[in-house]
Amino acid sequence: MKYDVVIIGAGAAGLMCAIESGKRGRKTLLIDHAKSVGEKIRISGGGRCNFTNIHASPDDYISNNPFFCVSALKRYTQFDFIDLVEKYNIAYHEKTLGQLFCDKSSKQIINMLVSECEKSGVEIVVNNKVHNIINNDDGFNLSTDDSKTIKTSSLVIATGGPSIPKMGSTGWGYDVAKQFSLNIISPKAALVPFTLDKKTIPNPETLSGISLEVIVSCNNKSFREGLLFTHKGLSGPSILQISSYWKNGDAISINFLPDIDIFTELKKIKEKYPKQEIQKYLTTLLPKRLALNICERYKYKGRLADISNKHLQTIADSINKWEITPNGTEGLKKAEVTRGGVDTDELSSKTFEAKKIKGLYFIGEVVDVTGHLGGFNFQWAWSSGHAAGQYV
C-alpha cells in the first residue's frame, strides 16, 4: 500500500494537513487508532467546540522558541478558518475574550473537516494502530494492526500530547521523535486545575463551588478571569491559564477584588462606621463563605475601631494579594493540553519537516507550542496543519 503522504493522528491538525495535502493531488492516508476522527474536537467547549479566537496572535503561545509559531499563524489565520466555517453555514457565536463557539454542535466542525478531506480525495482509516516505523532510502515503511505494510515518502506525526488520556491520547508521538533522535522538551500538564494541601486551606470542601472574577499572577504573568474553588483546590479559566506558567514549588498570587483597594476601603469604613464588625463587612464584598473562611483562617474578628491600620493592611493583603503555593496539579487526566513536546529547533518553521530526517513532519500539540485557553490551541492545530500540508 503506497501513499505519497501518511498522516498519523486524525485530530484537528491531522485533518487540516490531510485536506491541504489532498488538494495538491497527493495520495494521502489519514490513520488513527481511535474509533472516530476528531475526538478532542467533539468534546471541546462543552460539545460546542471553541474552534478559534478572534484575537489569536503569537503572543498567546508558549514555547522554548517563541518565534517558531509566527510563520504558520500568519500564513493561516483565525479569519481563514472562520471563512471555512462560514462556507459551511455553521452558525457560531463569540463568548468572552474573543472565543468562538458553534451555536449547535462540535460535530459540525468534524463533519466539515471530513467533507473537505473527501473532496480532496483523502483516505481515512480509523481503529487501526501504527506499531513500527522504518526509515529507508525510499521513505518510510509502517506496520499496522491489520498486518499491512504501508509505504510513504512523507510521514506526518499529528498524534497530540498525552493530555485527556480517556480520549485515547498518548505520548506516542514523542516516542517517534526519540526513535529518530529528535530532542523533546519535557512534557507537563498545562491548562490544568491546581491542588492544595489542607494546611493551605483547611476543609477546602467548605469553599467548593464558589466562583468569582480575580487576577491570578505567577512568574511575571497575570490573567484576569474566573476562579472556581473545588473540593481539591482551584480551577476556573484564570487558574488554567496561569498553570501553563507555573512550576512545582512556585507561589501564585490571587487578587480576589481586582477593582477595589481593600486597605483604602477598610480605613474609610473604620472612620465612618467604627463599630462595623470586620467579618460582616467582608461578607458585603466577597462571597459569604469565602469571607468567613478568610476571617476564620487568619483569626480576623472584632470591630474595625479595635483593629490597627497595620492589621488592616494584613487583612487587605490576604484579599488583594493572597499568596499560596499549590502542592501540584490534577495532572494530565484533567489537563486541556500538554506543554512541551518535540523541540522546535528540530523542525523547519516553514514546512514542519524534521531537519535531520527528510520526509518526517510533526504538527499540532505534539510540538513544543502551547496556546492559552480559549480557542488558541485549535488555531495552532489549523495553522500548523495547513502549513505542513503545503509541503508534504
Residue 235 DSSP SS3: strand
How confident is the model at residue 327, as a pLDDT?
94
Does pLDDT of 203 surpass 80?
no
* Residue 267: partners with Cβ closer than 8 Å, 6 or more residues away: 309, 312
How far apart (Å, rounded) are the C-alpha atoms in residues 7 and 179? 17
* Burial class of residue 259, CB neighbours in 10 A (0-12, 13-18, 19+): exposed
- For residue range 346-390, list pLDDT tens digits in order: 999 999 999 999 999 999 999 999 999 999 999 999 999 999 999
Identify the bridge partners of residue 255 per DSSP, sorted by sequence position: 215
How confident is the model at residue 24, as a pLDDT?
98
Q: How many CB atoms lie within 10 A of CB 381?
A: 28
How far apart (Å, rounded) are the C-alpha atoms in residues 392 and 253? 46
Q: How many CB atoms lie within 10 A of CB 36?
A: 13
Q: Taking residues 18-45, what's their average pLDDT?
A: 96
How far apart (Å, rounded) are the C-alpha atoms in residues 219 and 106? 35
- The reply to whether domains 2-188+337-389 and 194-257+324-329 share a CATH topology is no
Domain ranges of the chain: 2-188+337-389, 194-257+324-329, 262-321
- CATH code for the part of the protein at 194-257+324-329: 2.40.30.10
- For residue range 264-313, list pLDDT tens digits in order: 999 999 999 999 999 999 999 999 999 998 998 888 999 999 999 999 99
Given this structure, which CATH class describes domain 2-188+337-389?
alpha beta
Q: Taking residues 137-164, what's their average pLDDT?
A: 93
Q: Taking residues 182-210, what's their average pLDDT?
A: 91
**Fold annotation for 262-321:** Helicase, Ruva Protein; domain 3 (1.10.8)
Does pLDDT of 154 surpass 80?
yes
How confident is the model at residue 297, as a pLDDT?
85
How confident is the model at residue 151, as a pLDDT?
97
How far apart (Å, rounded) are the C-alpha atoms in residues 185 and 357? 18
